[in-house]
Amino acid sequence: MKGGGSSYALPAKRRWRRAIGVLLLVLLSMLLPLAFLLGLHNGFLSAGISFDQQSSIFDVLPGVDESDATSTRKEWENDNSERVQYIIQKMGTDNSKVFFHAVDIDKKMNDPLTNFGNETENKIVDVVPEEISHQTPGSHAPPDLPKPKTIPAEDNASGDQLDITTETATNAVEESEDSCELKYGSYCIWRREHREEMKDTMVKKLKDLLFVARAYYPSVAKLPGQDNLSHELKQNIQEFEHIFSEAITDADLPNQIEHKVQKMEDAIAKAKAVVADCNNVDKKLQQLVDLTEDEARFHMKQSAYLYQIGVQTMPKSFHCLFMRLTVEYFQSTNDIELPLDEKFMNPSLQHYVLFSKNVLAASVVINSTVMHAKESGNQVFHIFTDRQNYFAMKFWFYQANYQEAAVEVLNIEEIELPDKATLQLYLPEEYRVSVHGLNNSRPTQIKTEYISVFSHSHYFLPDIFHYLKKIVVLDDDVVVQQDLSALWSLDMEGKVNGAVQRCSLRLGQLRRYMGEKYFDEKSCLWMSGLNVIDLVRWREQDITGTYNNLMREPLSANVSSETLPLRSSYLSFQNQLYPLDDKWALSGLGHDYGVNAESVENAAVLHYNGNMKPWLDLGIPSYRSYWKMYLDSENQFLSQCNVNS
């Protein structure tokens, strides 16, 4: 029996051992995925904390011997030196500064921020002449790439090879600003001008304390026996969040804020003294850094979006003025529809043409031109507008006084031309052009300028004014500072269009958008704004027919429907441009903060091309005074609608 008993005991032990092995395998199969989920296999994350924060992580272990802690810290720092260098490169020497870098420039033509409002009166379209894969070094590079990386770019317009090399943090910031300007347009120029330094030190201190408390709270809340400390941290965090919901500056902070700060500092000190899992603190810090970075990027995009709305929509005061003028037109008992003045068809007088939907802008153009004219009785102004703005324009110029000059307001939609469909009003086309600087010590620097060309409506002028020989076309975003009568005696040497050239830009820099047609790549670009038009030569050269043929041509791969008017305008006037002296017109006052003050004073015509028009609150303040001086501040309609108040 004993022998039989021993024979049954051995298989029982084996089954027990097998059961233990199965349990161990089950436990391991559960612990391994849990370790991966908690990030234990990866140690500390590769980015997101600074040296100060690293020190605080080791300080939470008071029970560890000092020498052991020092050796552990050195070992950790040696293993993660490359990661730390990456963190410093990403966040800079100041932890509060985060550098944001723009995305691939080739995608900006489809960016809703830069193309917002393209269907409105003035189209703002990015035109980049060369494809540039512009990655900012150090912005998203992995931590194991400590050396600077050189990225060759494609040839620029002048044929030079571009190299983008990481040298210093300063260069990275400058390249980031260039990319920002490319992506968001003149918003970045406006943002740099209105950037304010952080002056509220107490608010900044509160934000730092809240940041640290949020990092420690999840770890403390999971520890047993720390309910009181967890509750204290949570209460302080909620109290700080309530403060920030009502205060953004030191002046808005409540009384006894020093006491609240002391309570938060005491709670954080207690949390640091508790033995906590460093990985959890590190993860929370990384999450907070990512959230802060995403929030900053979101606010930048949101502000750029709101900026585009501000520059592309009608201000409330302008809408009020438009409505009041329209109502007054229909309530007026006077006969506004006066007989046709014989001056309007007299070819011996000086005829000026404007296309506008803005009654104040058109009024400033005419008022400034008349005020500087030697003989205003020789001046005739023809304003083309659409049906919606026609009655407001009609009443404004009926009740306004422009000395002896004659003003005619025309609804372009009611003009009938033989073999022509119903005409529509198109304002001058405006484009934002980003090109490489030809003569620049920094080959990576990209220059952004605004150019404006004729719209589709301009090419009907020879047919509309078939009884005239010469006209001067003015945009509604210009201000005249000198007498323009000398333009009527100008010998244009048989050319059609007299305009100021922009030789800082060449057609060769826009060759991608010129299609297969031949053109002189060294030819300077010309600008609308102030143009002397020889209608006789226009008809002889059939400029309108050339333009229509170019517009009907099938689009090539490089020419989009948005840039087609740009291409057609420049090719239509090829070899038909007479360059005016640069002193006749000065452009850039709608986007360039650095225009020379002496040049502004001496220019005959100021052109506010760009987003920041002078009638907008976003207009450049130093240039707005030249425009506002030609407004009648005592006009009852302006005062009732708080225009430029």
Among 312, 344, 365, the domain-final residue is 312
pLDDT at residue 448 tops 50: yes
Give the per-residue pLDDT at 356: 95
Per-residue pLDDT at 60 exceeds 50: no
- CA 232 to each of CA 217, 235, 239, 370: distance values in angstroms, whole numbers, following the listed order: 10, 5, 11, 74
The rounded mean pLDDT for the chain is 74
Q: Confirm whether pTM is higher than 0.85.
A: no
H/E element, 501: strand 497-506
Q: Is 248 within the bounds of a domain?
A: yes
**Rounded distance, CA 163 to CA 416, Å?**
57
The pLDDT of residue 113 is: 39
Could you tell me if residue 149 is inside a domain? Answer: no
Claim to verify: residue 230 and residue 279 sit in the same structural domain: yes
Strands (E), 268-423: 350-355, 379-385, 406-411
Tokens for 556, please give them.
């090539």
**Amino acid at site 216:** Y
**How many Å apart are CA 307 and CA 508, to the nearest integer?**
32
Domain boundary, last residue among 258, 283, 312: 312
The CA distance from 331 to 315, in Å, is 25
Lowest-pLDDT choice from 102-106, 169-173, 316-320: 102-106
Asked whether residue 260 falls in the same domain as residue 364, the answer is no
- Quote the DSSP letter at residue 137: T
* pLDDT on residue 519: 76
Query: Is pLDDT of 5 > 70?
Result: no
Same domain, 625 and 612: yes
38 occurs within a structural domain = no
Calculate mean pLDDT across residues 539-568. 84
Are residues 180 and 221 part of one domain? yes
> Does any domain span residue 31?
no
Percent of the chain with pLDDT over 90: 28
The pairing of strands 150-153 and 524-534 is: unpaired
Alpha-carbon dihedral angle through residues 83, 271, 250, 254, given to the nearest 10 degrees: 160
User: 92: Cβ–Cβ under 8 A, 6 or more apart, which residues?
Assistant: 98, 99, 169
Residue 102 placed within a domain: no
Whether 201 is in a domain gets the answer yes
Residue 284, in any domain of the structure: yes
Number of domain units in the chain: 2
Q: CA-to-CA distance for 487 and 350, rounded, in angstroms?
A: 9
Q: Does residue 327 sit in the same domain as residue 198?
A: no
Residues 237 and 326 occupy one common structural domain: no
Please tell me what DSSP assigns to residue 578: E
Indicate the DSSP class of residue 423. Answer: -
Q: For residue 166, name the pLDDT band (cuts at 50, 70, 90).
A: very low
Helix (H) or strand (E) holding 302: helix 278-312
Cβ atoms 590, 620 nearer than 8 A: yes
Count of positions (residues) in the chain = 645
Q: Which two tokens stand for residue 258?
A: 């020093």
Structure-token pair, residue 254: 């409540």
- Tell me how crowded residue 44 is: count the other CB atoms within 10 A of its CB: 22
Q: How far apart are CA 321 and CA 317, in angstroms?
A: 6
- Same domain? For 448 and 554 the reply is yes
Please compute the mean of the pLDDT values over residues 474-486 and round it to a whole number: 95
pLDDT value, residue 105 = 27
Domain at 618, CATH number: 3.90.550.10
- Does 303 share its domain with 325? no
Distances (CA, A) of 546 to 2, 129, 459: 117, 24, 10
Q: Name the range with the highest mean pLDDT among 72-76, 102-106, 262-266, 472-476.
A: 472-476
Confidence of residue 179 (pLDDT cuts 50, 70, 90): low
Residues 468, 603: one domain?
Answer: yes
pLDDT at 114: 38
pLDDT at 604: 95
Using CA atoms of 494, 498, 501, 506 in order, give the dihedral in degrees to the nearest 10.
-50
**Among the ranges given (6-10, 83-87, 106-110), the one the predictor scored with the smallest mean pLDDT:** 106-110
Q: Pick from 312, 335, 362: which residue ends a domain?
A: 312
Same domain, 624 and 552: yes
Q: Please choose, from the candidates 459, 541, 533, the residue with its C-alpha nearest in 3D space to the C-alpha of residue 498.
A: 533
* Domain with 265 in it: 175-312
Q: Is the pLDDT of residue 344 over 70?
A: yes
Average pLDDT (119-144) is: 38
* CA angle in degrees (0–180, nearest 5) for 430-436-440: 130
Instruction: Identify whether residues 290 and 257 lie together within a single domain.
Output: yes
- Give the strands of the sheet with 605-607, arranged side by side: 478-480, 605-607, 585-587
What is the tens place of the pLDDT at every residue in 368-400? 999 999 999 999 999 999 999 999 999 999 888
What confidence category does residue 8 fall into, taking pLDDT thresholds of 50, 70 and 90?
very low
| Same domain flag for 368 and 491 | yes
Quote the crossing angle between the two packed helices 81-91 and 66-79, to the nearest 10°: 70
Burial class (CB in 10 A: 0-12, 13-18, 19+), 419: exposed
Does some domain include residue 626? yes
Q: Check pLDDT > 80 for residue 446.
A: no
